[in-house]
Structure 1
Amino acid sequence: MRDDSCFWRCFPCVFCLLILLALCQPGIVGTSSTGIGSHYNCQYTTGLCGVVFFDDQQCGDNYCRCCGRSEPDHQPYYAECVLHKNNLTYIPQLPRSIRYLNFAVNNLIGVPLTEHFFSNVTHITDLALIYDNISHIEQNAFRGFRNLTCVDVSGNHNLKNESFRVLMAIPGLQYLSAHSCQLASPPKDLFSNMTSDVVELQLSSNIPTDYICLYDLTAYSALDKLRSIDIAFCSICTVKTSTVVRIQSLNLNDNSMTRLPESCAANEVSLFPNLSSLKISENGILSLKEACLPSLTFLDLSSNSMALTHFSITQYPGLQTLWMKNMITDRFRWASNLFSHPTLEELHLEGDNIAFGSEEIVPNTVFANCPRLTRLSLAKNNFENVDDARFLELLGHLSLEELNLSKNKLSSFSLSTLSNFSNLSRLELMGTDLSSIPDGAFDSLKNLSWLNLTQNEITTITKQTFSVETRERLNVLYLDRNPFTCSCELMWFRNWFVSDTELFHRNASSQLQYKCNNLPGTSLASFTMVDQACLMSHAMNVVIVYTCTLFIVTFTIASLVFRFRWNIRLALYEAFRGRGDVRRLRLLADHFDYDVFVSYDKEDLPWVYGKLMPELEGRLGLRLCVHERDFIPGNNIVDNIVECVQSSKKILMVFSKDFVRSQWCQFELTFCMNHVMNYDDVLLIVCVDDVASRDMTAAMMAVLKTTTYIQWEELDDAVRSFWGRLRLALHEIIPLDGAL
């Protein structure tokens, strides 16, 4: 930072949080690419001490903090005496090395600012008196200053025009900010008979309490050195002047204007002969009438509702840069040669939703006769149905050096799309839904050094995508936020990405935006593959992948079929079984030895003998087949099961934890399931305890999912419900006397 520079360009609206101040680099900013002109940057000190500077210490009667740099002389340059409200009503003595003072948010209401008030700091160059409730500044208050170049009195709502005049008259002052002071349009004679060195004036967000939406610039005609006025965010409806004002830059953004300021005198002489930059975005401009702005080079009409059918670019003879972003434009046919202009160099038509694919709306000649147009931004429009032929008809004749097509859905992108743009040095294709890049698509752009392909659908970059010459020409290449498929095909690009940090502007943050879409949690930089794994051809890899996939799918299906074989079988049985005719005919045959075959584990025998048999045999008169009692001794156990099942009218299974572990019980279950399917019957299932699903066999799980079972519990109500449900399930075979 330099002691002799002008510091702290401010926008004190951030003081909505009291004192969050913008930190800008010192020095004079040169002319920008937009032609806006020079601006003074002033830097006040809130937040600097103890953050980016050294030697932070208490000073100024312990009301202030002073700090500076450790080099070259260890002297404090910055002082901040802030947020003391009613406790600090004077500027204390500060070190003579201080050049930049921030005296913000100190309640000075009723305290006149006199020459004595500033006597301790007449050596400073930059002064901030923000949100101090200043109401009066005496005529000679700044007489003692010799080097003061920047003053900020923003946020002082009681400041009057008389004090504003005093500030403008400070000798040597180049930048003055009176943002958010409720200052009205100045009287025409406010600055008469005075000398002012102010070059840049910041008056944004000034809406007086006695609000009148007319703003008269006549008073500024007396200020020969004034070059820039910012009156944005002031709710201005109309701007006028009754005499010539020789400013170069006028900012009217975010007001309520429906037309441009009156710029033509009665004799068609320009009222703003030197105006080179006019910003009038975020207003309500509906149309542009005749203008007399012979020096205008930069015009910002963004975010207005203007009908382009009423726009004539030829009324600005020296125009070089035109911004028409986010316009709410009409949908009627644009005029041919709409943007034709001999001096136009830069055009921004971003976010206008222009249907470039429709020749009825955008004629082929809309950009004709623009010999000097080199920078064109068409981001956030509609490029659907724009093929290569249409693209070249619209833009192919332009000698573009910079082209922005970001946030457009490009219908096609081939080798011929950019074939005519040999002068192109910067190309923006972010978010255009490109899924692939033709090999050598950028090789014809012999001057291309900046390429942005961020946020597309690109999965692979190969060695042939960019030729060696193209890779050597590129200084910046953005490919982040693409869904890369990390495989052998991408290894070449991965190695290039890792090896060339500067080209991809790769840092810890941007590196995280390069990810392997097919490998969650894996960044491109960390992705690796063994060389041997990439030796096989792509075709062989495809065959192997398909073969393995087919095997895995087949194996998975077979496993699922085996695992759920009983579920499938029971589902088919339920879908195709009859209406019970087979079962009724079988019961009418009347050749059964038993009414119910009971399948159970021997550990559940006490429940069978103590609970089940007394109820079914004792009370209902049914004959149960219980193998401890009824199997024929000496016969094969399998034969006993088969004969007893076939000789029983119904089958009842007693599921329990022990039933799960018994191989014979599982055999009986499988056989009985086949039996009931053959005779169109159903199993009767009772559960005497809770069985965990992880312990059950596939057959048991299938039965419980497809059959309504009865759960045994020892509670009185539960017992009565259990026997009632069981009698209902056995109603076909219960004798009449038992049912009663």
Structure 2
Amino acid sequence: MKLMVICIVVYLSLCVGLLPQCTTGSPTSGIKPFPKECIFVSDTFIDCRHRDLRTIPSGFPETVETLLLSYNSIHVITNESFHGLVNLVTLELHHNSISKLRSDFFEDQTKLQYLSLSHNQIGDKLPDDAFKHLRALEVLDLSYMNHGFTVLPLALQELIHLRSLNVSSNRLQSASFTPGVAFPALLELRLGKNQIESLQNEDFEALLNCNLDFLDLTENQISAIDSGVFHPIASIAELDFSKGLHPAAIPSLAEALTDYQVNALYLREIGLEIWNSNNFKNLRNSSLEKLDISFNNITTLDSGFSGLSKISSLIIQSSHVAHISNTAFSGLQLVVTLDLSGNDIATITDGMFSSLSNTRLKTLYLDSNKIKRIDASGGFSGLSNLHYLKISKNKIEQNFIGDEFKDLDSLEVLDMGVNRNISLSPDAFRLLKNLQTLYLNLANLKNITVVPSPFDKLSSLTKLDLSNNNMAALHKDTLSNLSYLETVYLQHNNLYNMWNETVYVPFLKYLRRLKHLNLCFNGFQNIPNDSLSSLHELETLLLCHNKISQLQDGVLDGLPLTTLDLGYNEINLINQTLIEPLQGSLQILAVSGNPFSCGCNLQWFRNWLDVTKVHVNDSSHMKCASPPEMRGKLVMDFHPERLNCDHLLPFYIWIIIGVGSGMVFVIVGLSVKFRFHINYCWNLVNARRRKYQRIKGEDRPFLYDAFVSFSNKDEDWVKNELVQNLEGEYGFRLCIHDRDFILGRKILDSIVEAVDSSRFTLCIMSTNYLDSHWCKMEREFAMANLIDRDVLIIIALGEIPEKKITKYYKLHRLMMKRTYLAWPDEPGVRRNDFWVKLRTVLREPELRVNNNVSI
């Protein structure tokens, strides 16, 4: 219970001190409760989106700079909602149900720069002073109002620093601002999806001298445009009338843009059916560079583009264009990009683009048409500056002989992919000597076995895509002249018969600068040893979705691979010899989808996965196929150490060995520490084995009255005092080792016999005695006899320091329990008493009881 209380206290402390989102107070001031409905990202950023809020929470810290309240159900803002938030810079309130705004709502937001109020219910009832305190506001979004504005609100007049204004999807009848209002900093104005029917000269007076990046007038109903409507605006980078202009208003629009600085004009999906260049003749003096008339119904281009001489980009996508005359693009002297994708062009006829001869055209998009053939007599003649040609996603069925690309001397990228049936003659690309990238994917190519190769003249080619063609064969020299080739895509073909056990076609042999090679989905069962050996710069090798069961040792040696994909093959083992040569360069490895055999042979690879820094893709699909007990389990869940693959002792045996070794060390340590005690026991046993039995019972006669245990350094005291006062006149028999021990007998045996043959053992205790090895042994034997009888008498001879005797634990303990005799320093009565007490103890055994001998 105490532990639980402590844990709760610690948790609450952490919440208060470290986790502001757990608290109910402000993370900064600690005064107001922080709204629990919101996410406190930082002191300056609070996210309250998607919280189903009905009102604006209170308690925001005044340090907040970004406050997100969008995607809720807020319908009321009050004076207190944003009170005190003086540092607010960004405020999102879009996708709510707000219907009313007043100036005092934003009284403290003098630093606010971004305000989004779109998708609310604010209408024409917006007060004229609603934004009077927001003088720093730069971006205002009032789009998609439920009730909508019918006129641009007067409240905008205070926002002189506004850079972006969005009032799209309202009910505006006019683009006119309130007279006298000015927005000198405005860069973006969005008026799309309103009900504007005309543009009048005074509409944009508020934008005097502005340089707009974008003016959006899309999805309106504009049919009339005054000639001076754009004159107040200094320039417009992009002007968009898509879905918002009646085709009949194009001449008036062109007149309004006469001598005007506009860069891009979008007239997408306005219902334009007939292209008439006269409609744009007034643009001849404008700066228009880009014209987009896509998604209209222009079936024929034949009248030219007079008046659009400065156009650099012309886009006519998905407009049902089927017929293009030889003069269709006359007048486009500066055109660089022409996009005709997604139309109904069926044939590239001779001279179709002759009106673009000697122009600056560099990029031509003809993809996603219905082209079946390209006229070999010169469908692209005159386009000598063309760099990029895209004719993919068509229906071309043609054998290319080379004349189809006449005059395309500068072509660098040719995309012919995704066509119906393309075949190549040896001269197919003979004129494209500067080509660098060629796409022929999904073109239903047949086997490229012709000699010479159709690619022989493409000596500058760096990228070639031949994927998804179901090709079964390439000649060994098909790519031999492409010495600068860096990227080859050959996936989704059937080239497996070129590399098998009996056939080896070295079609990659000469690609010494190749860096990226994709051979996935080809059915390869084998990758020959020499097939990749010449690719000294290869960085990416993709061999996925084949039938490879094993890569031979050395097949990848010497390759600076950073990415290797072997996924979805039939590989059950990744060898160390395969991966180790790539360790210095490899960054990404994909091997998922293979039937791994999760046994001892996979041990190296499995251990490598745990330590490698190489990114192994999609390890969730690296599964074991065998043995049966591992089938379907992840390779990462395979632990080879449990199999004893190295034939080492199991882990539990190592535990037993470790514990046993530890016990041995402990025993050895104890043996060293208590070596004397062990030695004593051993010698005692040996002595017993030699028939020196301990004398048991007090009724058995002893040989000696006392065995004297003393240090040789105390010998004078023993002979002159002890022997003189106990033997002779008093008749006691003492055992003195240097007098009574039998010569030639082992000292230890003599000690054991002497102790056991004596009624008492007198220990003459001195500092010399404590330092003596033999004295220690004699004392231990005597103390051992205390078990059966009380035999030990201690005589303290001289002063013995306390710290010295405490080193001998057993002796110290004994002396603490028993009274011992102390030899007086001075002759006299005390010495007489000493001898009387000693003789009494030796003579009267029945009087000897512990602690009854007194000094």
Q: TM class by shorter-chain length?
A: 0.5 to 0.7
Name the CA distance, whole Å, in 2 between partners of 1:366 and 1:77.
59
- Equivalent position amino acid for 1:124 in 2: L
Match of residue 468 from structure 2 = 351
1:108-507 alignment, distance < 5 Å: 108=196, 110-112=197-199, 116=203, 119-120=206-207, 122-132=210-220, 140-146=228-234, 148-155=236-243, 158-159=246-247, 162=251, 174=263, 177-183=266-272, 186-187=275-276, 190=280, 194-195=284-285, 202=292, 204-208=294-298, 213-215=322-324, 222-223=331-332, 225-237=334-346, 238=348, 239-244=352-357, 245-260=359-374, 270-287=381-398, 288=400, 289-309=404-424, 312-329=428-445, 334-340=450-456, 341-356=458-473, 362-387=474-499, 392-399=505-512, 400-445=514-559, 447-467=560-580, 469-490=581-602, 492-497=604-609, 499=611, 503-504=614-615
Name the CA distance, whole Å, in 2 between partners of 1:465 and 1:167.
71
Name the CA distance, whole Å, in 2 between partners of 1:473 and 1:90.
62
Name the CA distance, whole Å, in 2 between partners of 1:170 and 1:141.
13
- Equivalent position amino acid for 1:395 in 2: L
Deviation per CA, 1:320-365: give whole Å up to 9, x if none: 1111111134579645311112222211111111111xxxxx4333
SS in 1 for 2:569: coil
SS in 1 for 2:397: coil
The 1:243/1:123 distance shift into structure 2, 3 A limit, reads closer
- Equivalent position amino acid for 1:449 in 2: T
- Equivalent position amino acid for 1:370 in 2: L
- 1:278: Cα distance to partner? 0.8
Name the CA distance, whole Å, in 2 between partners of 1:263 and 1:483.
56
Task: Work out whether residues 200 and 229 of structure 1, in 8 Å CA contact, stay in contact via their aligned partners in 2.
Answer: no
SS in 2 for 1:242: helix
- Equivalent position amino acid for 1:387 in 2: W
- Equivalent position amino acid for 2:454 in 1: L
Percent identity, aligned pairs only? 22
The 1:316/1:203 distance shift into structure 2, 3 A limit, reads farther
Match of 2:141 among 66, 81, 85: 66
TM-score scaled to structure 2, two decimals?
0.47
Name the CA distance, whole Å, in 1 between partners of 2:256 and 2:419.
35
Provide structure 1 residue ranges, at least 5 long, that are not aligned to the other structure: 1-47, 68-74, 357-361, 541-740
Match of residue 639 from structure 2 = 529
Match of 2:116 among 50, 57, 62: 57
Name the CA distance, whole Å, in 2 between partners of 1:413 and 1:251.
40
The 1:422/1:148 distance shift into structure 2, 3 A limit, reads same
347-356 or 143-152, which moves further after superposition? Answer: 143-152
Name the CA distance, whole Å, in 1 between partners of 2:590 and 2:329.
47
- 1:259: Cα distance to partner? 3.6
Task: Work out whether residues 105 and 132 of structure 1, in 8 Å CA contact, stay in contact via their aligned partners in 2.
Answer: yes
Which has the greater radius of gyration?
2
- 1:385: Cα distance to partner? 1.0
- 1:458: Cα distance to partner? 3.2
- Equivalent position amino acid for 1:452 in 2: D
Task: Work out whether residues 243 and 268 of structure 2, in 8 Å CA contact, stay in contact via their aligned partners in 1.
Answer: yes
Name the CA distance, whole Å, in 1 between partners of 2:610 and 2:267.
50
The 1:505/1:465 distance shift into structure 2, 3 A limit, reads closer
Task: Work out whether residues 227 and 253 of structure 2, in 8 Å CA contact, stay in contact via their aligned partners in 1.
Answer: no
The 1:450/1:318 distance shift into structure 2, 3 A limit, reads same
Match of residue 730 from structure 1 = none
TM-score scaled to structure 1, two decimals?
0.53
Task: Work out whether residues 411 and 432 of structure 2, in 8 Å CA contact, stay in contact via their aligned partners in 1.
Answer: yes
- Equivalent position amino acid for 1:478 in 2: A
Deviation per CA, 1:186-234: give whole Å up to 9, x if none: 4466568725655565555444378651135856554555422222112
88-97 or 241-250, which moves further after superposition? Answer: 88-97
Name the CA distance, whole Å, in 1 between partners of 2:232 and 2:610.
60
Match of residue 702 from structure 1 = none
Aligned residue pair count: 467
Q: Which has the higher contact order (CA 8 A, sep 6+)?
A: 1
The 1:387/1:87 distance shift into structure 2, 3 A limit, reads same
Match of residue 40 from structure 1 = none
SS in 1 for 2:116: strand
Match of residue 175 from structure 2 = 90
What is the CA RMSD across the aligned residues, in angstroms?
4.5
Task: Work out whether residues 338 and 367 of structure 1, in 8 Å CA contact, stay in contact via their aligned partners in 2.
Answer: no
Name the CA distance, whole Å, in 2 between partners of 1:167 and 1:260.
41
Name the CA distance, whole Å, in 2 between partners of 1:283 and 1:476.
36
Name the CA distance, whole Å, in 1 between partners of 2:276 and 2:467.
39
- 1:435: Cα distance to partner? 3.0
- 1:402: Cα distance to partner? 1.9
Name the CA distance, whole Å, in 2 between partners of 1:530 and 1:393.
40
SS in 2 for 1:465: helix
- 1:276: Cα distance to partner? 0.5
Deviation per CA, 1:42-80: give whole Å up to 9, x if none: xxxxxx9979xx95522799589639xxxxxxx987655
- Equivalent position amino acid for 1:456 in 2: N
